[in-house]
Structure formats: C-alpha cells, structure tokens
Amino acid sequence: MDAVQDEAAGKRARGLDRAFEILEFLRRKRQALKPNEIAAQIGAPRSSVYELVNLLLQNGILEFTGGEGRVYLGRKLYFLGAAYENHFDFTRECEAALEQLADETRETAQFCMLDGNRYTVVRMREGARPFRISTDVGQSVPIPWTASGRLLVAHLSDQEILSFIPPQDFRLPTGEWLDPQIFIAEVRQAEREGLFTFNSIVDSFTHCFAVPVRGEEGHAAATLCLVTPRDDGLANRDHYLDCLKKAAASLDQAPMRPKRSWP
C-alpha cells in the first residue's frame, strides 16, 4: 500500500514539475503555441502536455489566444503576481529609486536580478531624453551578456560560476565566444570595485552601468542599472555612478521583506 501511495505521489510531483516547465517555457518564448508544439520543443509526451494544458486552462493559468488552439500565460498569473507585490514593502522602495534615477540622469534605469541561472530586468523606468532605450521586463538573458551579471555571481567561487552558467551562454549575440576566464576576471574586478560598466554586448550603441543592491548576506541580491547612449554614458560616467550608488544605498537599507501585518 505504501509503495502504491509513493508511486502516486511521485507521479503528482512529476506532473507539477512538468506544469512549471510548460509555464517557464511559454514565459521564455513569449508567444502563444499549440500544445503539440510545446510538447515537441520541451521533449515531453504529447499526451501528458495536453492533459496538463487542459488543467491549466481550467484554472485560468493558461488562456487560449491567437487562434488554432494556441495557448499562453493566463490572467490568473497576473493576479498572483499582484498579490505577491502587495505583500512586500520593497516594491514601493524600488519604484521610488528607479524614478529618482531616471529623473536625475534622464537615462533608462533598471532593477535587475537572477532568474535561475539567467539575468532578467524586474523593473524599469525610461528616462526623459527624446531618444529612449527600452528593454523587455521579465525576459531572461545570458548572464555573461550583462554588466549586472558580473556582480550577481561575484559571491560564487570561480568553479561555482563555471558550473552555474550554461556553457552555451558564453556565446555572444555576435556569434563570438567570450572566454570564461576573461568573464571571471571581470567578475573579480566588479567584486573589488563594487560596480561594473562596459559598452553593451547586446547593443553596440549603448553603455551599461551596474551597482549591487546587497541582501542580508552581504552579496548582490539584485542590481541597479543605467542603460545609456554610449557617448553620453562615457561623458557622464562619474555622475551616473554617484546617482546609482546613492539609490542602491537606499535599497540596501530597505531589505526585501514582507509588509508588516498589524493585529
């Protein structure tokens, strides 16, 4: 009897893992797909994907969109995310810091974190300049492509970094390969200086600035960033870094904590 119960529990756990895999896959693809397309691309049995997709549709986690049976992330996920944000004071602090940065520098300000073993922009405020640089909030990007990535893995040992980052993520958008040892040297430089800046690997016209927002353990739990036109970024480097450090210090003092509940 125990063996039967254990087997059933194991199947439920695998089904839950597969459901999260489907949701994560759709988040990364950022487009509606048919269940058979999802199954083929994640290497899962079509029957189990169809069963899970139907269950997620029934609960509003997925929705039909785009016709021909295509599905995408549902509005229930938005409400769940809104409930999460409402539970944390830190969201308000982060918005204030980004607004201040965008006002002071007129540049695009971002709050960034790791999403598994990739980098993502969590929050963003565009600057006031006529030429604006935007990015997709929530889109996962290889860590080596980003200035923030050097800071977000700085608490790891060299070997831990190489084990953490997928080898293919050292292939740059240009098709060239970034030597992992060069990346590690830049990580250690960022760790010593408490910042990292470089000409963007993703966009040849921009310059990126990043400083750490430290968590309770003292290492970078997140970063604050500025993405600027290259010439303006280089000309205003010291001013931009001063603004970033001041904003990051205000977040260091406002840890990512749940809102206080009153009796």
Residue 208 located in a structural domain: yes
Strand ranges (DSSP E) for the chain?
Answer: 62-64, 71-73, 108-115, 118-125, 140-141, 196-199, 206-214, 220-229
Residue 176 located in a structural domain: yes
Is residue 25 domain-shared with residue 95, that is, in the same domain? no
The tally of domains found in the chain comes to 2
| Each residue's pLDDT tens digit, 63-107 | 998 888 999 988 888 888 777 666 665 667 788 899 999 999 999
Is residue 93 domain-shared with residue 73, that is, in the same domain? no
Q: Beta-carbon neighbour count of residue 136 at 10 Å?
A: 11
Is residue 129 domain-shared with residue 236, that is, in the same domain? yes
Average pLDDT, the chain: 85
Q: For the domain that residue 4 is a member of, what is the CATH number? A: 1.10.10.10
| Each residue's pLDDT tens digit, 26-46 | 988 889 999 999 999 999 999
Contact (CB, 8 A) for 53 and 35: yes
Is residue 154 domain-shared with residue 246, that is, in the same domain? yes
Q: Which of 198, 207, 250, 203 is closest to 231 using CA atoms?
A: 207
Structure token pair of residue 9: 């529990």
| Each residue's pLDDT tens digit, 163-180 | 999 999 999 988 899 999
Which pLDDT does position 179 carry in this prediction? 96
For the whole model, what pTM was predicted? 0.70
User: How many Å is the Cα radius of gyration of the chain?
Assistant: 21
Q: Which domain holds residue 141?
A: 88-252
